[in-house]
A and B are shown apart, each in its own frame.
Chain A
Amino acid sequence: MDESELQALKRRTNIVIFIILALFGILVVRLWFLQILRGSQYLKMSENNRIRLQWLPAPRGNILDRNGRPLIVNRPYFNVTWNKEDAPDPELIIRKMAAILKVNVSEILKRIREAADYPRHLPILLKEDIDWPTLVYIENHQYELPGIHIETLPSRKYNFGNLASHLVGYLGRINEKELKKFGDSYLPSDQIGKMGIERIYEKLLRGEKGRRYVEVDVHGFEQREIMEQAPLPGKDLKLTIDIDLQQTAERALRGKAGAVVMMEVNSGKLLVLASSPPLQLQEFIGGISSKNWKAMLNDPLKPFINKTIQGQYPPGSTYKIVTALTGLSEGAITPDTIFNCAGSMLLYGRRYHCWKRSGHGAVNLKKALRESCDIYFYHVGLKVGVNNLAKYAISLGLGHKTGINMPNEKPGLVPTKSWKRRRYKQEWQEGETMSVALGQGFNLVTPLQICEMTAALANGGTRYRPQFVESIIDADGKIVKPFRPIIDGHAMGSKHSLALIRAGLVAAVNEKHGTGRIARMKSIIVGGKTGTAQVVRLAQYRHLPAKDIPYKYRDHAWFTCFAPAGKPQIAITVLVEHGRHGGSEAAPIAKALLEQYFNGKAAKPPTDK
């Protein structure tokens, strides 16, 4: 060990002592500067120093009809919130607020308990949608109510009541599951689209919240704004729906259960998408009461079912379009093939009736469609078989979802032999083919599917996807996303076959003995097909006059049509549940829409195409 080296190290240790003292000396000087010289200044800052984040709600996008008329807009909606951190005496505030809001203390306590899991700095929602006098009172007494804030939220105003209620849907308080799913961009007090367009287009409609950082003093009062980031308003949605036509359809359906679909045949744009009875949209603002909810659930007319896409019904005679197309395309019939209708026919020892017990006599294709002769289509059905019928039905859009941008659409059902084996473990019976050919068997369709099929028939076989959004418009009025038609497929069979069927449907509306004569118009030539879908096949009610049959056993009434016959523009499908006869119940509704569409619009040239 080198003693001199050790001594050198120890000498350097003294330098180190000096360095330590010097550096800690700097810290003491700094402390003296901060605490003594600037102390009172920092004390003031610490008292004022409470930075709060405020969220600025983004105005939700409006929903407009095809002509730009506002269907749903925003109205401000005032909520009372409470920042617990800013309240020196919580109990006093709770008692005061219960009196001001005219609610029980227990109700406020319940809200506070519910909010216990949320981060502490988030305000607690005490009451939604307070009225004007309450708002004014709170604003005027701000200084006695530390921590209490008024939150202005955009809410929905329904300009046309419950119009298109199933389509537009409604908003509701976000629930825990949704909160977990969507994470940071929502607050527990936020509204979120729960159904229909409000839900489907939630992301576009809601925009983006702004934030504002403010400094508040010890009592929670705002001192100074530090930073503001403006909210990004939601986008407007322009629908293809026409408010006037939709209103006509819903008025016609009032008090009934049913659906109306009206579509542009060359684009798939929906002009009307009506389901009756409607949802009571106003009820959902601020949360629906369980009493009203139950009432809607128990309503025998089932308002919660969107019958345009979720109602599955036997197609009845509207299905004869499919049977006719199959017969022509498969070579089973020509337009001139004649079957004799004697009112009934015998097959495998069972008698099958035509709706007209006296019989139609000699029937060709046109007459069969015009007068909806059952015997004729029994023969066609037997000739082509159920699997061929299914092939054409599927190509016309039946038996699978249309692909409309709405959740929970039902696919309907197109039966085949293999389907029956799978489903019932039984072989197909020839008699069942006859029922299917008339739309009375296992087949199930939705009104939207029948409308799409009618549109394809009218436009020469192209199946456009039904759509209800014309364009998406941003806050500056710029179109972000225009409408684009989507072709989903083509009907099998020749254009000539489709033309022959159209001629039969035109005859049904315009000629003597036609089943759809009620829909006949003076100025425009309409083609249409009625349908009566049996609910029960039991004969026990058959002989009774219509009004004596219990409601739930009455047949469903169909009518589907297109116009003008020469160059079709639109297709309309009407279904009235338990409406008995398509010709008398459903066709007038279609006619009212036709009148309005063509007479109201006759002067104006079509806007596109």
Chain B
Amino acid sequence: MFQFDRRLILNFDWILLLTVLAVIGMGLVNLYSATTNGYTSSHIFIKQIYFYIIGLGLVITIISVDYRVLISWNYVFYGVIVLLLIMAKFFGNSAGGAQRWINLGLFKLQPSEPAKLAMVICLASYYYRKDTGKGFSLRELIAPGLLVGIPFVLILKQPDLGTALMIAMIAVSMTLFVKLRWSTLIIIITACIIIAPLGWKFALKPYQQQRIETFLHPEGDPLTTGYHIMQSKIAVGSGQAFGKGFLKGSQAHLDFLPEHHTDFAFSVWAEEFGFAGSVFFLACYTFMLLLGLNIALSARDKFGVLLAFGIVALIFWQAFINLAMILGLLPVVGMPLPLFSYGGSSLLTNLAGIGILLNIRMRRFMVKTT
């Protein structure tokens, strides 16, 4: 399957790789600060380094195989993911009331993370096969709707509202991207407006409702849910222009900041490196995403475009929701910042995504345009 071709090297996107490494590097610096207490380096930090090494191996594996095999393998991936989600539901380890993990011995896999990538691959190959010239009608959306619906419900039931929403957002983004009919769009939007209040009442758990209510009125509850938002805003704000300095963020180091190595990792960064550091980070991140879209633009086949777009959408939405939450613009949902927050499943998934992007870019010359 793999024959060496010099063009593979020539077309390798070194800039994307370097940008990704820069983001990862900032993530590691930040993780060190978030998990150290000044005396001992934590095992979390060491563990994350192991994940990076595994991730690097994963990227190398992915780029050595033509991404187009995914077109025919997509349902196999899909099946495995659904199976894993069901396993997590019934045999998984629970933490904080949610059944999210499967213990693999070496580490605990959170199948909802690879599920996001599997969704992207699955939809990309589905839409690749369909003729979308005139845009989709409502009836044509039933099949992809079901495809998305199964993992969506399974993840929602874990319960993991953040990841379930993410699956939905990826699906919506990709569907909009391949074009909907205007009539279809209007019908869907109307339906959403009608269903939303019912969903609030029946689908959301009380704690989820409370989070959203707290987001709307944070001062009403300074001790529990609103506490997270308040503390995060204080952490970010107190960083001012140039930050308090590496390892000097009092919010994180005095444990006022919750989850400061996972979901709230960026608060630590913003507190210690200030506005300057935050904007630098955002610039790198945006650059990385734009490079991803550039790969979509330069791809020569529809599958490559859809796949590249889906991966960028995946990383972008997670990042945006995470950052908006940290800055107090959105309610608190469990959502890591891709390639920055601690967490093995999330890291490996996103690195696999980067691997696929690099792969598409490397092989653009192989696709003959018709």
Contacts and interface: CB of A to CB of B under 8 A. Distances in A.
A349 B316 CA distance: 109
A572 to B, nearest CB: 59
B238 A43 contact: yes
Interface residues of B, number: 51
Nearest to A215: B222
A428 interface: no
Secondary structure type dominating chain A contacts: helix
Contact of A20 (B179, B239, B290): B290
Q: Counting chain A CB atoms within 10 Å of each CB, which of B237, B251, B320 scores highest?
A: B237
A13 interface: yes
Nearest to A45: B234
Interface string A19-50: 01101101110111011101111110111011
Contacts of A41: 237
Interface in A366-391: none
Contacts of B231: 49
Contacts of A16: 177, 293, 309, 312
A42 B267 CA distance: 13
B266 to A, nearest CB: 10
B270 interface: yes
B134 to A, nearest CB: 10
B234 A12 contact: no
B132 interface: yes
B236 A9 contact: no
A36 B369 contact: no
Interface string A48-80: 011100000000000000000000000000000
Interface string B273-308: 011001100100110011001001100011001100
B234 A36 contact: no
A36 B238 contact: no
Contact of A34 (B132, B320, B324, B327): B327
Contact of B286 (A6, A21, A30): A21
Contacts of A117: none
Q: How large is the interface on A (under 10, 10 to 19, 20 to 34, 35 or more residues)?
A: 35 or more
B197 interface: no
A21 B312 CA distance: 13
Contact of A31 (B250, B275, B306, B309): B275
B286 A20 contact: yes
Interface string B145-183: 000000000000000000000000000000001110000
Given A28-B279, A35-B237, A17 B370 contact: no
- Chain B interface mostly helix, strand, loop or mixed? helix
B316 A36 contact: no
Contacts of B235: 46
B323 interface: yes
A34 B323 CA distance: 13
A1 interface: yes
Contact of A9 (B238, B278, B305): B305
B240 A28 contact: no
Contact of B282 (A9, A10, A27, A51): A27
Contacts of A47: 238, 250
Contacts of A46: 234-235, 237-238, 250-251, 256, 271
Given A9-B178, A42-B237, A50-B254, A31 B279 contact: yes
Contacts of B278: 31, 35
A85 B250 CA distance: 13
Given A13-B293, A35-B239, A42-B238, A27 B132 contact: no
A176 interface: no
A336 interface: no
Contacts of A42: 233-234, 236-238, 240
B222 A5 contact: no
A39 B286 contact: no
A31 B269 CA distance: 12
A30 B329 CA distance: 8
A39 B238 contact: yes
Nearest to B329: A30
A9 B302 contact: yes
Given A16-B293, A35-B270, A43 B301 contact: no
B223 interface: yes
A213 interface: yes
A463 to B, nearest CB: 53
Contacts of B131: 2
Given A3-B369, A5-B133, A46-B251, A39 B302 contact: no
Nearest to B177: A12
B306 A9 contact: yes
B346 to A, nearest CB: 20
A24 B297 contact: no
A34 B233 contact: yes
Contact of B237 (A17, A23, A34, A50): A34
A38 B238 CA distance: 8
A47 B244 CA distance: 12
B236 A213 contact: no
Contact of A45 (B179, B238, B286, B328): B238
Interface of A: 1-6, 8-10, 12-13, 16-17, 20-21, 23-24, 26-28, 30-32, 34-36, 38-43, 45-47, 49-51, 85, 213, 226-227
Given A17-B290, A34-B233, 5 more contacts: A27-B323, A31-B236, A39-B239, A42-B236, A46-B238
Q: Which 3 A-B pairs have the closest CB atoms?
A: A42-B237, A39-B240, A46-B238
30 contacts: A2-B302, A5-B132, A6-B302, A6-B369, A9-B177, A9-B305, A13-B309, A17-B293, A20-B286, A20-B289, A21-B286, A27-B320, A27-B323, A30-B329, A31-B236, A32-B275, A36-B275, A38-B237, A39-B239, A39-B241, A41-B237, A42-B234, A42-B240, A45-B234, A46-B250, A46-B251, A46-B271, A47-B238, A49-B251, A227-B223
